[in-house]
Structure 1
Amino acid sequence: MAFTRANGKHRRPGRVARAGTNVGVAALATTGVVTTLAGPAAAHGAPAPAGLRQASVMGDSLAHVVDAQAEAQKVAAEAAAAQARTRAEARRSAEEARRIAAEKAERKREAEERAARARERKRLNTFVLPVKGSSVSTGYQASGGAWSSGSHTGIDFHADPGTSVHAVGAGTVVEAGWGGAYGNNIVIKMRDGSYTHYAHLSSIAVSVGESVTPGKQIGLSGSTGNTSGPHLHFEARSTAEYGSDIDPVAYLRAHGLSL
């Protein structure tokens, strides 16, 4: 009996079909993803293979990490900038505070210096009695034979021997030493151009050219020269020379003293 072969039903796969199958298997073995001979379902939007889905998920996760890192860096940069601004503002505030304090200290110093100068001017313009707590024993221009001019050229203050004698105001010593009938005497040129004279001293504590201030001790009272007893002879003069005397009581009163 003769056998015949039906066409197609039991035909062995062709070379082309086998080759295509081998290529697909090789690609799957190498990459885990089928890249050739995709079936009809893949061509019409069927779900992607597991390998592609995993790669997509991993890509999304990496993107989120990168975005989070970028956001964190941005926040850190903004925080650092804010801290820098805060430090700069603090420095400016501190510098301003130091400037204000320095200006305040300078104004205070200047005010204190002005006040000190004012006190010094007042002190230098202040007059005091030549003998503290004393009074006048012989007045100005008293007459009598005791004085070569025929009258008293000054005033006498009660003063026991060794009593402190003071400059009545600020000035410069122009004479200090023996003065004949005046005994040990001192002449001071005052700041206003007038002169004051202190006579019959037991000792002298200043020298010519020395500056004196009101109340400075210039010597001690005594009875040297032409005198009948211890006292202080005081004169006010328009010049340093004898004979230029002016009323010493009026002079002292004009400088704020009471006699």
Structure 2
Amino acid sequence: MGKHRRPSRAARVSANVAGIATLTAAGVVAGVAAPAFAASDDSRGPEDTGLTQAVVISDVMADNVGAQAETQRSAADEAAARLQAEETAQKKASDAKERHAEAERKIKEEREAKERAARDEERKRLGTYVSPIDGSYVSTSYKASSGLWSSGSHTGIDLHAETGTSVHAVAAGTIVEAGWGGAYGNNVVIKHNDGTYTQYGHLSSIDVSVGQTVTPGQQIGLSGATGNVTGPHLHFEARTAATYGSDIDPIAYMSAHGVSL
């Protein structure tokens, strides 16, 4: 009876590898089995077992799975970080847009408020009445009787003024007469925004022309002694029309507009 020869080490390793091949992923067996097949019958060392090979391959597989999991976690973290960064950027952009819109709204409101204030101030200014001559006084009253006037009575008031004194428009309006007015000498008639008129007579010079608009306090000429006079002064009338004979009390007229003469 012959003796059975013990299988060589290479044969055993090959058998072990073949037995566990179904437990590994592609490429793992090749990495473990390659050095095993390189062994020869003549090499001797600790005897290899299937269990040893399985443990080695299991460790490699665990490392691969762990690496894959770590990669997936890193990718998920990066995606979450990108999403958070995008949301933060969108929030900042939205906040900046809202701040810009609010700033524009405030600028618009401030501009509109200034425009309203300017319009109100202009309306107030144009509605203001002032004295035709600064620091003067009435030297001849309204309706005073005298043969100096063709009507027999004074149709306005005389305000004391030396020749060359500045004469002002008492309110805003439009010049309807500017030139020689007979007994009134050089005179100016202004139609005001409320439909009333004022007249300025005996001027030494005239600074405005027909059709021109004037503002309260604007100089329209200089006082003098032209026309039917006995000396320099300003003849001031208030009228309901531009023509002679439509006169009203100038003291009461100016008083109604807050000016005392």
TM-score interval for Structure 1 and Structure 2 normalised by the shorter chain: 0.7 to 0.9
The alpha carbon displacement at 1:70 in A equals: 1.1
Report Cα offsets for 1:207-232 as digits up to 9, x if no partner.
11111111111111111111111111
Q: Which structure would you say has the larger Rg?
A: 1
1:115 matched to which residue of 2?
117
2:220 matched to which residue of 1?
218
Call closer, same or farther: CA 1:93–1:22 in 2, change over 3 Å: closer
State the TM-score, normalizing by the size of structure 1: 0.83
Output the CA distance in 2 between the equivalents of 1:242 and 1:22: 145
Structure 1 unmatched ranges of 5 or more: 1-7, 35-45
The residue matched to 2:148 in structure 1 has which SS?
coil
Q: CA RMSD in A?
A: 2.4
The residue matched to 2:259 in structure 1 has which SS?
coil
- 1:24 paired to 2:26: no
The residue matched to 2:50 in structure 1 has which SS?
coil
Identity in percent: 52
1:161 matched to which residue of 2?
163
Report Cα offsets for 1:137-162 as digits up to 9, x if no partner.
11001111111111111101111111
The alpha carbon displacement at 1:252 in A equals: 0.5
Call closer, same or farther: CA 1:171–1:241 in 2, change over 3 Å: same
> Alignment partner for residue 171 of structure 1, among 167, 170, 173?
173
Which segments of structure 1 move beyond 3 Å, counting only runs of 4 or more? 20-23, 25-34, 46-52
User: Is the contact between residue 13 and residue 36 of structure 2 (CA under 8 Å) also seen in structure 1?
Assistant: no
Report Cα offsets for 1:151-206 as digits up to 9, x if no partner.
11110111111111100001100011111111111000011101100011111111
2:209 matched to which residue of 1?
207
**Corresponding letter in the other structure for 1:153:** T
Call closer, same or farther: CA 1:258–1:185 in 2, change over 3 Å: same
Output the CA distance in 1 between the equivalents of 2:178 and 2:230: 22
State the TM-score, normalizing by the size of structure 2: 0.83
- State the aligned residue count: 235
Output the CA distance in 2 between the equivalents of 1:161 and 1:22: 143
User: Is the contact between residue 33 and residue 52 of structure 1 (CA under 8 Å) also seen in structure 2?
Assistant: no
The residue matched to 1:172 in structure 2 has which SS?
strand
